Amino acid sequence: MNQPSGLRGHDDYRVLADAIPQIIWSSHADGSIEYFNRAWYRYTGLSDSDSLDDGWINTVHPDDREGVVAHWLRTIASSDTYEVEVRLRGADGTYRWFVGRARAVRDAAGAIVKWYGGCTDIDDLKNAEASMREHAATFRKLANSLPQMVWITNGEGENTYLNDRWYDYTGIDPSRPHKLREAAHPEDHDDIFFTWARAREAETTFECEFRIRRADGVYRWFLVRAVPVHAPDGTIVEWFGTCTDIEDKKRFEAEVFSAYERERRVATTLQRAFLTQTLPKVDGFAFDAVYRPSEREAAIGGDWYDAFALDDDRIVVSIGDVAGHGLDAAVVMGNVRQAIRVVARVVEPDPTAMLDAVDRTLRRDSPNTMVTAFIGIIDTRARTLTFASAGHPPPLMFASDAISELAHRGLPLGLRDAAESGPAATIALPESGMIVLYTDGLIEATRDTDEGERRLSEALASVAESSTEFPAEAIQRLVLREGANDDVAVLTLHISARKNLGQQVSALLAAADKTA
């Protein structure tokens, strides 16, 4: 080793060494120490006589002493470099960790003539490493005691740790490198890949449900979640994750969904069986209706529409909504609808009296149930409509380019107070126009009733002025642009001028010619 340029001699070297905070030393070719800088004496509190030659050995921790000396002697005999981690005793009697390094200086013939070395304090680093090992051991103990599988990956997604629960469950050899996806069901691979890619790109929590193969080949569902761990500069250095068995939860969800689907099918079938399939056909009055089930699993069963002719020239129309959903609501709906039909035929039809009678029936047969309803009686000869409401949204009528509400005050069935119910209202029907009766699911689908009512008014005006064959279907389609959150019933009445006898005969003859 050549002497560094700029040093004029032995004294300059020692001045420079004394200015360095690390311990600096030099030894003869045989390894006996000839020099320590001031940092050595400050740390150890020793004198030259206690430090030089072999005196320094007494500062080495007893547990390290034999290994350090043996390593130093081997280095002197066969190497140019020396490095060792050792505990040295300070002046206060405590030991601190140092890393000692030395290089040999050889003469022109290649023989070692001197050794130059230094000792750097690494006690804080060693303590930090020990603390990390202790924390790591505690973490592993904790992770292995958890019922979940616990895993860690580096920032690139490569596994750096999997707890014992993972290996016990999967049966994978712990010594074999692998990725979590290897044990996942093949049908779930794409979902895992894209969900993981989105989480890494957004640097947000990864969450995915997928099936993991057990050691016996059986797959079970797991909820797999991981959170990113960031370095001070914001980069992701690790992902900490868990796998929680949700097989029982998934089976329960499947059973509940199946039960909902069964109830939905039964309720829908019952609902459609209760609804009128044939609407009255009367000159000057055209009826159309549509029922749309909710797009949610069990939110069906409570809405109805109905229109039927009495023995005279009158037609009864009704529409309503049973509070609640599902099979029970469908049954109540069928009972209320049928009660309206029975009452209309056994007593003088009056909408208010009919609602009061149905209210008594509902309270007796289905207590604690609430139903909104609207009943109207159309006198086709006098061209009038008499109606009453039990807390139901008022129908709309389009006539003479204007829209009006058929409003009437009354509490819902099940809560009705006959004394507070107003008398039925009667209006003259226009020469032409359209009335739409509906349930609240039509105007509440947007979660904004005002917007729903605006859409309904626009749809009614548009359909009434057109020659649409199925106006009820057209109205519900125009209003329910985003789908139905509740079941919906719509009943329309298109009013037109009555044909005279000659027009009716001509129409019948024209129809007969077409079929001839």
pLDDT in tens, 64-99: 999 999 999 999 888 889 999 999 999 999 999 999
Task: Return d(Cα 490, Cα 306) in angstroms, integer.
Answer: 10
Q: Where are the alpha helices (DSSP H) in 146-246?
A: 164-170, 189-202
- Rounded Cα gap, residues 99 and 71, in angstroms: 13
**pLDDT one-digit tens code per residue, 439-469:** 998 998 777 889 999 999 999 999 998 878 8
Domain with CATH 3.30.450.20 in the chain: 10-121, 128-245
In the chain, CATH 3.60.40.10 sits at: 276-502
Report how far Cα 235 is from the mean position of its chain's Cα atoms.
Answer: 26
Residue range 304-323: mean pLDDT, rounded: 92
Q: Which residues contact 69 (CB under 8 A, 6 or more apart)?
A: 57, 60
pLDDT confidence tier of residue 10, bands split at 50, 70 and 90 = low
CA distances from 475 to 99, 285, 306, 424, 511 (A): 86, 18, 18, 27, 30
CB 65 within 8 A of CB 71: no
Mean pLDDT (whole number) for 258-266: 65
Which CA distances in Å does 478 have to 180, 393, 437?
A: 49, 19, 15
In sequence order, what are the residues at sequence separation of 6 or more whose Cβ sits closer than 8 angstroms to the Cβ of residue 414?
359, 362, 363, 366, 367, 368, 369, 370, 371
* Number of helical H runs and strand E runs in the chain: 13, 21
Looking at residue 471, what is its pLDDT? 94
143-179 exposure pattern, b = at least 16 Cβ within 10 A, e = fewer? beeeebbbbbbeeebebeebbebbeebbebeeeeeee
The helix (H) or strand (E) run that includes residue 111 is: none
In CATH, what class is 128-245?
alpha beta
Rounded Cα–Cα distance for residues 344 and 354 (Å):
7
Query: For residue range 403-425, what is the model confidence (pLDDT) as tens digits?
Result: 999 999 889 999 887 666 778 99
Tell me the three state secondary structure of residue 261. Answer: helix
Is the model more confident about 500 or about 488?
488
CA distances in angstroms from 208 to 155, 165, 184, 196, listed in the order given: 18, 19, 12, 8
Q: Rounded to whole angstroms, how far apart are CA atoms 442 and 488?
A: 6
User: Would you say residue 25 has pLDDT above 60?
Assistant: yes
Question: By three-state DSSP, how is residue 115 classified?
Answer: strand
CA–CA gap between residue 383 and residue 66 (Å, rounded): 118
Q: Are 50 and 33 in contact (CB under 8 A)?
A: no
Beta bridge partners of 373: 320, 391
* Domain 276-502 = CATH 3.60.40.10: yes
Positive or negative, the Cα torsion across 455, 447, 331, 477? positive
pLDDT digits (tens, 9 = 90+) for 300-309: 568 889 999 9
> Cα–Cα distances in Å, from 388 out to 85, 276, 372, 460?
97, 21, 11, 22
What is the fold, at CATH topology level, of the domain defined by 10-121?
Answer: Beta-Lactamase (3.30.450)
Least confident of 310-314, 460-464, 499-503: 499-503
Q: For strands 433-438 and 396-399, give the pairing.
A: antiparallel
Q: Which segment of 23-37, 146-160, 377-391 scores lowest on mean pLDDT?
A: 146-160
Q: pTM for this structure?
A: 0.51
| The two three-digit tokens of residue 179, written as one number | 């990725």
What the block records as the tokens of 382 is 């006098």
The span from the CA of 278 to the CA of 287, in Å, is: 10
Mean pLDDT of 323-345: 86
